[in-house]
Amino acid sequence: MKTVEIFCIGTELLSFNKTDTNSLWLAEKLESMGFCVIAKHIVKDDVNLLQRLIRQELHNTDIIITIGGLGPTQDDVTCQAVCQAINKELVFTENIWESIQQRFMQRKRSLPDITKVQAYIPEGSDYFLNKVGSAPGTWTSYQNNIIIMLPGPPLEMIPMCENDVLPKLEQLIEEPKPARLYYGTAGLPESLVEEKLFPFYQKFNELQVTLLASPGQVDIYILIINENASIRETLIQEVDKEIMLILKDYIYTRTEKSLEEVAGELLTRHKKTLAIAESCTGGLLGNRITNISGSSEYFERGIISYSNESKIELLNVPAFLINTYGAVSKEVALAMAEGIKINAHVDIGLAITGIAGPSGSTPEKPVGTVHLALAAEEDTLHQHHIFLGNRAQIKYASTQFALNMLRKYLIGIK
Amino acid sequence: MKTVEIFCIGTELLSFNKTDTNSLWLAEKLESMGFCVIAKHIVKDDVNLLQRLIRQELHNTDIIITIGGLGPTQDDVTCQAVCQAINKELVFTENIWESIQQRFMQRKRSLPDITKVQAYIPEGSDYFLNKVGSAPGTWTSYQNNIIIMLPGPPLEMIPMCENDVLPKLEQLIEEPKPARLYYGTAGLPESLVEEKLFPFYQKFNELQVTLLASPGQVDIYILIINENASIRETLIQEVDKEIMLILKDYIYTRTEKSLEEVAGELLTRHKKTLAIAESCTGGLLGNRITNISGSSEYFERGIISYSNESKIELLNVPAFLINTYGAVSKEVALAMAEGIKINAHVDIGLAITGIAGPSGSTPEKPVGTVHLALAAEEDTLHQHHIFLGNRAQIKYASTQFALNMLRKYLIGIK
């Protein structure tokens, strides 16, 4: 696979409030075409730093793409840095200069003198005229490398890529293109997923497998590269079969959907309505459920029962349960789920009560103690967890396990 | 100024359209302390590539900070790469291992064997124990450089930086340190803030002023660098006076607090209790309010009244109001606020009803139409907005304006 490194150039890109969207867009295009983006560098407008970095990285990658720093002002140093890195001269290119002049004439604008610098490109380069701005793109071969320079504004960079650069890059791709498999799992910590996958790693040790963990969720990405198309097809099927066998129902999506989206689809498919009662999560569960457009079809209401009074008044939780077992208990969680199910006239009631911290813990009930309950027609389910982390982490993990409990109920796993 | 390069390590940061928020956060902290971040590198989990890059960049910068790649699995290569780059051995550190074991014991979880690898750090390094996850942070001196390794999950990286790493970095700063003033404003769009600040820009044209806009909020950062300490002190006072004069009560914080935190402090100070009724925001308002530790002192309950029935049953909204004006109307918003105030026996009822989209709009009520209402002892307030953006943006802006409405009520501005 051909490797690419992307350089985003501009001091302003390093300040805290700028997200560089150019490279996200470009990296996705390149990956889907079958290139491997191995690094991105965001570098200030410093010609020495930049030329050293480019010179070094020519040894590490096949293709270097720079974005930005092609303007006419003193802090635009990309072209100069590239020329220094590959020992090439800058040459004036009449065609580019004419195109820049035409753009200014069309707009009836006077042409600043400094603009002429943008018609200089590394000797022996191909170039792409800029239909939106002044700076051209360039394509320079150097030894075994290709160096591509692109303008920084997305409105110039993106059409230039789509029309000129990506089609030219396409010709470099060797068939067959790599395949990428994805599995989203819920309910297992990363270390346990890893342990379960150990035999898989041994069996398919040539594959690139990446795990990405977030609270209550582990995403698995598998990249399959194989010269022979039919072998690759067989391999994809074998890998898929093996992963599904190992992780079974822990896998809740193979298309990067969120747990709330999958749960929503299951509620819709099974024609079930839902209401929730949440205490320590304070509205986060409702917020996640209602992030899904169309959730009003199955989500009836939610109660954020922060006080004991609200649990008693709105969820029919008997006061003696709270007095006897405490508001954070299996008994109260079950009563909350049952209460919201009945009061909201829905098929499923889902409840969370817990201690999100940092205060509110007791020796028997440490911070992170959470009880989940689900009440449905013929079933009543309960889970007890002790989540680690800060307030936000505990809240999020609680909703993640509650949504997974709902999902598992809807697909018939207890 | 001491220079810093940040390395974010993880194949997933390159391939799957993940925005790296860690380095944005860290770059801001470093810049405000007086470091100069000259480059950021986002690098795949490739030990050879990473060690070459680190080895090279040691010549270009004073400090290297790596984020991520410290997990126990095979694709976590940061520690190995750093050791190779600076020719140091990995050494087992009993203290770290004990802390990891304790964390697992607290959670009553079995400790996977592979976790032990996280107790190995470069010889001669200081380390920072991880209170949220397993991987420790490290601080290694090498020739004239410092290399710092941090865990990748923001919930682990941020507290470790705040508690341990930034205070240690602070000691490296030469005087005089730059001063940074911060103002958080709510309720004005960026263009209006910009307009109001125009005379300020003219008066203090040598200052670096950065505006950062998010839905319903504009943050203002002003950097003051001056060799002479007494001139700098006078300048700070002049700038502060001018900004406060221009933006007055639009400024809700000068210490980067969130609106929910400021509103919570005001509720506590004025000994007022709060309950909420939210429709289109689906729990987001409650979630934000309860993100503040101690919010149970003033937050009594919330109703996520997604259905009309729940508005009628739980908030006493007369059915004829919904039938006459629609669920998204001034009349229903006011009834919701009044209803929750009475039913929850609190001082203030706060309500949101609106159309978060993308469906549910009518010609008279486009997507983004939101009515806010506040009911208190002697006051009833209402606001009507049409927010732009997608579902998540509309939900967020609604809660932002609702919290600001609450804040303004509590400080006596109508």
Question: Does any CB of chain B come closer than 8 Å to the CB of residue A212?
Answer: yes
Select, from the ranges A57-61, A345-349, B205-209, the one with the highest average predicted confidence (pLDDT).
Answer: A345-349
What is the pairing mode between strands A299-304 and A274-278? Answer: parallel
Question: Measured between alpha carbons, how far is B307 from A299 in angstroms, rounded to an integer?
Answer: 8
Chain B contact for A393 (CB, 8 A cutoff): yes
* A163, B28, B175, B233 from B170: Cα distances, Å: 49, 14, 11, 20
Element (H, E) at A204: none
Q: What is the pLDDT of residue B16?
A: 53
A164 lies in the same domain as A62: yes
Contact B363/B351 with Cβ under 8 angstroms?
Answer: no
- B197, B230, B253: which is the final residue of a domain? B253
Other beta carbons within 10 angstroms of residue A321's beta carbon come to 18
Q: What is the pLDDT of residues B38-71, one digit of tens each?
A: 999 999 999 999 999 999 999 999 999 999 999 8
Residues in chain B: 414
Q: d(Cα A35, Cα A169) in Å, to the nearest integer?
A: 9
Q: What is the pLDDT of residues B318-334, one digit of tens each?
A: 999 999 999 999 999 99
B23 and B142 within one domain: yes
Poorest-pLDDT segment among B99-108, B258-267, B318-327: B99-108
Give the separation between CA B396 and CA B402, rounded to whole angstroms.
10
Cis peptide before A176 (omega within 30 of 0): yes
A324-346 pLDDT, tens digit each: 999 999 999 999 999 999 999 99
Q: Are residues A195 and A221 in the same domain?
A: yes
Q: How far apart are the first and last CA of chain B?
A: 47
**What CATH code is carried by the domain that includes residue B379?**
3.90.950.20
- Are the C-beta atoms of residues A134 and A103 closer than 8 Å to each other? yes
State the sign of the Cα–Cα–Cα–Cα dihedral B334, B339, B345, B349: negative
Comparing C-alpha atoms, which of A187, A167, A191, A9 is closest to residue A82? A9
Which among A189, A286, A395 has CB closest to B304?
A: A286
Q: Which of A75-89, A96-110, A114-128, B65-79 has the lowest mean pLDDT?
A: A96-110
Cβ atoms A303, B401 nearer than 8 A = no
Whether residue B184 is found in the same domain as residue B138:
no
Range in A95-109, B72-86, B257-271, B395-409 the model is least confident about: A95-109
- Answer whether A119's CB lies under 8 Å from A97's CB: yes
Residue A142 DSSP SS3 = strand
pLDDT, mean of residues A216-237? 86
Chain A residues whose beta carbon lies within 8 Å of the beta carbon of residue B310 = 300-301, 344
Output the pLDDT for position B78. Answer: 96
| B282–A286 C-beta distance less than 8 A | yes
Kindly give the pairing relationship between strand B217-224 and strand B90-92.
Answer: unpaired
In 3D space, the residue among B214, B224, B159 whose CA is nearest the CA of residue B189 turns out to be: B214
Of B284, B343, B358, the CB nearest to A293: B358
CA distance readout (Å), B97 to A55, A268, B116, B153:
41, 48, 7, 20
Structural domain of A12:
3-170
Do B112 and B44 share a structural domain? yes
What's the residue count for chain A?
414
pLDDT at position A19 is: 62
| Residue B39 φ/ψ, nearest 5 degrees | -160, 150
How far apart (Å, rounded) are the C-alpha atoms in residues B283 and B181? 34
pLDDT attached to residue A388: 86
Predicted confidence (pLDDT) per residue in B337-361, tens digit: 999 999 999 999 999 999 998 888 8
ipTM summary value = 0.77
Domain boundary among A170, A203, A219: A170
Residue closest to B301 by CA, chosen among B317, B283, B280, B318: B283
Nearest C-alpha neighbor of A383 from the set A184, A196, A186, A185 = A186
Residue A16 has pLDDT above 80, yes or no: no
CATH of the domain at B240: 3.30.70.600
Q: What pLDDT is recorded for position B225? A: 78
Does pLDDT of A263 surpass 90? Answer: yes
DSSP letter for each residue of B94-150: HHHHHHHHHHHHHTT----GGGGGGGEEETT-EEE--SSSSPPEEEEEETTEEEEEE
What's the confidence (pLDDT) of residue A360? 87
The residue of chain A with its CA nearest to that of B280 is A290
Domain identity same for A149 and A87: yes
The dihedral of CA B281, B283, B286, B287: what is its sign? negative
Cα distance between residue B292 and residue A395, in whole Å: 12
| Chain A contact for B256 (CB, 8 A cutoff) | no
- Structurally, how many domains does chain A consist of? 3
Q: Are residues A158 and A9 in the same domain?
A: yes
Instruction: Specify the pLDDT at position A230.
Output: 85
Given a cut of 80, whether residue B214 has pLDDT beyond it is no
The Cα A55–Cα B134 span in angstroms is: 38
Model confidence band, residue A104 (pLDDT cutoffs 50, 70, 90): confident
Identify whether B112 is preceded by a cis peptide bond (ω within 30 of 0). no
Is the Cβ–Cβ distance between B277 and B349 less than 8 Å? yes
**CA–CA separation, B19 vs A271, rounded Å?**
36
In the predicted model, is pLDDT for residue A291 greater than 80?
yes
pLDDT in tens, A345-362: 999 999 999 999 888 888
| B398 and B282 together in one domain | yes
Instruction: Name the pairing type of β-strands B299-304 and B274-278.
Output: parallel
The single-letter code of the amino acid at B64 is I
Same-domain status, A161 and A192: no
Q: Does B116 touch chain A (CB under 8 A)?
A: no
Q: Are residues A324 and A225 in the same domain?
A: no
What percent of chain A stands above pLDDT 70? 98
CATH number at residue B33: 3.40.980.10
Residues of A in contact with B103 (CB under 8 A): 388
Contact between B40 and A14 using a beta-carbon 8 Å cutoff? yes
pLDDT per residue as tens digits for the range B44-53: 999 999 999 9
Closest-CA distance of chain A to residue B153, Å:
8
For B:76-105, CB contacts with A below 8 A are 103
Is B42 close to A43, i.e. CB distance below 8 A?
no
Contacts of residue A48, Cβ cutoff 8 Å, sequence gap at least 6: none
Residue A229: is its pLDDT beyond 60?
yes
Kindly state the average pLDDT of the residues A32-37: 85
CB contact under 8 A, A304 and B296: no
Tokens of A42: 């965001």
Mark which of A253, A286, A314 sits at the end of a domain. Answer: A253
Residues A205 and A94 in one domain: no
Which chain A residues contact residue B37 at CB under 8 A?
14, 44
Do B390 and B277 fall into the same domain? Answer: yes
Q: Which of A8, A12, A28, A38 to mutate to test the interface with B (most CBs of B within 10 A)?
A: A38
